[in-house]
Structure 1
Amino acid sequence: MEKKTERIAILIDGDNAQAKLLKAILEEVAKYGKVTIRRIYGDWTQHNMNSWKDLLNELSFTPIQKFSYTSGKNSTDGALIIDAMDILHNGVVDGFCIVSSDSDYTGLAKRIREEGVFVMGIGVKTTPTAFVQSCEIFTFTDNIVQEAVIEKQIEASSAKKINKRVKAVSKAVPEVSKFTKVKLDLIDRAYFMATPEDTGILVAVLGTNLRKIDPSFDTRAHGFQTLTKLLESLDQYEIYKPDGSGLSQPVVRRKQRGK
């Protein structure tokens, strides 16, 4: 379990995000802290913003008007960046979430991190790498959608039907076996960052290190809801709780050869 940031501002580029995912996005951000500032930016006189309107009061978001002075040009980024800097310097939050797939927010994410403040991003798979790497955590909307679909099926199905439907959804997700070498190399790097002597580390620490190396790393992209479940599926690692250690969190270590 990652340490939670106490207060988070979620700033959404309404011209560059999907309204239908707003509730799921809010739930995703809430994993990291309490969302105290909630704003959506866009030209609310335009028809493309209508999909957001019904959700504003339901989820307590504040609409920020930004007129499109030039046809075909997204003018919301400037307003969002200015507001973010004001919030940052006022010190009223401990972290930010920028919801957009626009590379224009790369500089903003870097500036927030320079202040030692938590910053995460949420966007589509095609989000430029520069923006993804500028965030401490970057979550692709594909992974949020997958989780939301599974949860809805669980709520609406009997126990027998759940397994069939979850398996059907999982087929659309890349299997771990297809990325074994690449992902194992990544996990190994994150593991040895914390334990050069190969003595085992908390799963939560491994998760933090993975995000440091790759902010977009997400177990859901490989068919697992948690890092512990993913590690349990790998032959190279084992999960355990040391006897008499008083630790309540699971520990991961590499398996000894021949074991």
Structure 2
Amino acid sequence: MNTNINMAVLIDGDNIPSARVKEMMEEIAKYGNPTIKRIYGDWTRPGLSKWKNLLLENAITPIQQYGYTTGKNATDSAMIIDAMDILYSEKVDGFCLVSSDSDFTRLATRLREAGMQVIGMGEKKTPNPFIVACDRFIYIEILKKQTEEKVDNKESDVDKISEKEIHLIRTTINDLSDDDGWAFLGDVGSLIQKKQPNFDSRNYGFEKLTPLIKSTDRFDIEQRETSRSRHKLIFVRNKSKRASKAKKR
């Protein structure tokens, strides 16, 4: 993924907790240069007061949006209008939409239709339509600093790898494998992301895809040296069902 692209970061202040804003901005920096950073909300509301110092520390511009009608989310409309204005300004190559609200599904789809890279970020309660409308979707719950993870060793936010994820990895390897069944892990990871935007090794307690795959004991892993690079390339292959059963015995 190209990390040199300019990105617009648009945050739904009514729908995102302020506690992880620093980790959110660090994560976004992996995917591009956040040249535009805006957060939307009714800043006259006491509930948004926690954002004040965080916005100054992270150079995020607050956009005031009054709630004109009870039960209607004016913040969503303001954010969508701004996104389209930014799109037509041609100043960015991608967007990061930070919200757990499915109302931004159509916006994400429209931005991708225009050739924009769209990163979504929200809580695990985010509806699936918004998730799949993005190129990649990252759960805020996994954005914890390593020091915090060591202090609090609870695994309440870590999902177990299910047969559904195993099947996703297995079929993706089949899609990319050579005649001997081997596939380059980098390509496997990229295709998995396209198939399931919210797939992230950190959801299952692993920093990278390689240790996640190793933990399942369902795949062969091979490191290969190349003449052009000092780094070894990692290839993976599906284990035969016979081999897996034999190992369990």
Amino acid aligned to 1:194: L
The aligned residue for residue 208 of structure 2 is 226
How many positions carry a matched residue from both structures?
241
**Aligned residues of 1:5 and 1:94 also touching (Cα < 8 A):** no
**Aligned residues of 2:119 and 2:134 also touching (Cα < 8 A):** yes
**Aligned residues of 1:5 and 1:95 also touching (Cα < 8 A):** no
Work out whether 1:183 is the aligned partner of 2:182. no
Counterpart CA distance in 2 for 1:13 and 1:129 is: 18
| Post-superposition offset of 1:172 | 4.9
The aligned residue for residue 246 of structure 1 is 228
Runs (4+) of structure 1 moved beyond 3 Å?
Answer: 196-199, 243-247, 255-259
Richer in helix (by share): 1
Counterpart CA distance in 1 for 2:51 and 2:223 is: 46
Can you list the C-alpha shifts for 1:64-92, whole angstroms capped at 9, x where unaligned? 11111112432111111111111111111
Counterpart CA distance in 2 for 1:59 and 1:220 is: 24
The aligned residue for residue 157 of structure 1 is none
Identity of aligned residues (%): 40
- Find the residue that maps to 1:77 and give its secondary structure: helix
The aligned residue for residue 131 of structure 2 is 132
Work out whether 1:152 is the aligned partner of 2:113. no
Counterpart CA distance in 2 for 1:204 and 1:70 is: 49
**Aligned residues of 2:123 and 2:140 also touching (Cα < 8 A):** yes
- Find the residue that maps to 1:63 and give its secondary structure: strand
The aligned residue for residue 235 of structure 1 is 217
**The one of 134, 150, 158 aligned to 1:173:** 158
Instruction: Normalising by structure 1, report the TM-score.
Output: 0.85
Gaps (5+ residues) in structure 2? none
Alpha-carbon spacing, 1:69–1:198, altered in 2? closer, same or farther (3 Å): farther
Query: Bigger shift: 13-22 or 244-253?
Result: 244-253
The aligned residue for residue 158 of structure 1 is none
Can you list the C-alpha shifts for 1:14-57, whole angstroms capped at 9, x where unaligned? 11111111111111111111111100001111112211111111
Amino acid aligned to 2:209: L
Alpha-carbon spacing, 1:22–1:153, altered in 2? closer, same or farther (3 Å): closer
Alpha-carbon spacing, 1:197–1:223, altered in 2? closer, same or farther (3 Å): same
Alpha-carbon spacing, 1:5–1:133, altered in 2? closer, same or farther (3 Å): farther
Counterpart CA distance in 2 for 1:10 and 1:34 is: 10
Counterpart CA distance in 2 for 1:217 and 1:120 is: 13
Counterpart CA distance in 2 for 1:215 and 1:249 is: 27
| Post-superposition offset of 1:170 | 3.4
Alpha-carbon spacing, 1:54–1:244, altered in 2? closer, same or farther (3 Å): closer
Query: Bigger shift: 238-247 or 45-54?
Result: 238-247
Alpha-carbon spacing, 1:216–1:58, altered in 2? closer, same or farther (3 Å): same
The aligned residue for residue 7 of structure 1 is 6
Alpha-carbon spacing, 1:80–1:171, altered in 2? closer, same or farther (3 Å): closer
Alpha-carbon spacing, 1:123–1:76, altered in 2? closer, same or farther (3 Å): same
Amino acid aligned to 1:113: R
- Aligned-CA RMSD value: 2.1
Instruction: Normalising by structure 2, report the TM-score.
Output: 0.88
Counterpart CA distance in 2 for 1:8 and 1:46 is: 28
| Post-superposition offset of 1:153 | 3.7
| Post-superposition offset of 1:238 | 3.1
Gaps (5+ residues) in structure 1? 155-161
Alpha-carbon spacing, 1:70–1:188, altered in 2? closer, same or farther (3 Å): same
Alpha-carbon spacing, 1:6–1:48, altered in 2? closer, same or farther (3 Å): same
